[in-house]
Structure 1
């Protein structure tokens, strides 16, 4: 879930990484407790300006005594105590084994910075999906994982500071037996639209809305409310009556697969539409797009929109989940298909003018909605 104010490393800005502890790559810290305060200065008496959570990756700019200064959007001073941060073991050299392209964003739409040829050494900074932010002799940028030898993803803990100096009020360290993040509780919205309030009260200001099947990590749980962090980073409260609380591990496999499908499909935004095409990069039509995306995940579906409607299980519009197929046309005759990505949106190979785009299901740029099928269990 996206964190408020933190410059998530998956969206890192080229050239914006401060190299403080490693001359070849940014220093990345990983939060090792459930909740950790971010303060305006290197002291527990400094004001709290944000919070981070277990597993969050932070870019470390410098160290002052027992405190790390980290990079937070729009804040010039943000500190976390080093006792609750593990240092990601980055900067290991990898060898390019397939000629690759260095791009300025983690997708095929990113502008090419340079060609990286076989045998060159690179340093992996961090990973986002199938892409890696790397440091090379030709600059920094993103490369696809199939271009080089696989990185070692082990995270080595930083050397612990003396426990007597750790700020107990900022975090409670977990023992070695504490369940990892996959055992945390999550909340899933069970109504079509649910208001998010600034405080745990229906009289509080509304700061946003969430939708059916949206799932969030629970930040805190009250008798009638739970607090969540929205995609824009704001923290708010939703009413328990309209949600389902479950152990994250019970839904991890399904939700992760669906999110992986959506993330993969989004890599090809802006690529060309070609009638009868089957290439996600050089050109594809609507049904070719959905077929090739599903093929990546071992799901075999028919080639045309009308025959894909016969694949999987028919579902109603209110039951749509990310990764479901949605169909459009006139007079109940299917002539177009797309991939539902959540929040009432569909990604699809639209036409030769726009290529692969995202639209609302109800957009006037879409043909009339006919139905949907589920091909991912």
Structure 2
């Protein structure tokens, strides 16, 4: 998406701003999360109109109730939450030449807004190449660095006081409930785009008052409610149970494409649906019975909405079980399907499957 207004300026350029003298006011901020929503009003319920990103420098027009109103071209109202912006002190400087032109762009071919006199004070907002964007009595515009009392070029100033964006700590969200909906927007009324599971961990893209945004397994950006995650600056440690579930799924996937053989017990030479479930679980020291009709009673019965990777799901007709599969997460299953297709992966609600009957948890 195209940046607007002050948009994207590097920390190197910001460094020149920080090394001039005499603090004037606080009206520039640096985004400290990977992606930050820009909203039409000072509220998480206001619509998202744009985004700014890690390291972007934004011009702050005013601050109220933890929200910054920022400058964006063609946007009369643009707001970001102050929690995700590091405010930097802007600087004052004096015109050092006899006269200095104030331009409407960072080059001498741009239009001249006005002329500044020697000794006139200006507020430096940010730097662009050999130019400073400044606020003056004649308005805002660009002035060449050589005409100000800060005599060094913005490009040659050593960055010593600005933060390095690489040093900004990553934050992580770990799911604390069995199943958690991922929403398209930060609202409980927003569309559900995915599900995540207890102990799943995600790097946080942006953080709002009640929500965090993450990347889902398919690469989409979604939102998790903070009530159902724990947030940490440390890389989360995966628990033994959640790790085991993923190991079971990964192990089962090794045999995708192998043969279906009715009554078979070999994951490589041929196996049927219940044999597949039994042999996969056996690898991890989990003992279950041999038929799908008995396997549903081998663990704890759970509802469909509580499914976790590694759970067993059962299908059949008229309430009679005739098939079992291993749930993989994200509404997908792996199973020994039939002699024609062998061991396959498909959706839990695939219309080609028999009627869903129930689920059992054998991983404690």
TM-score by length of 1: 0.48
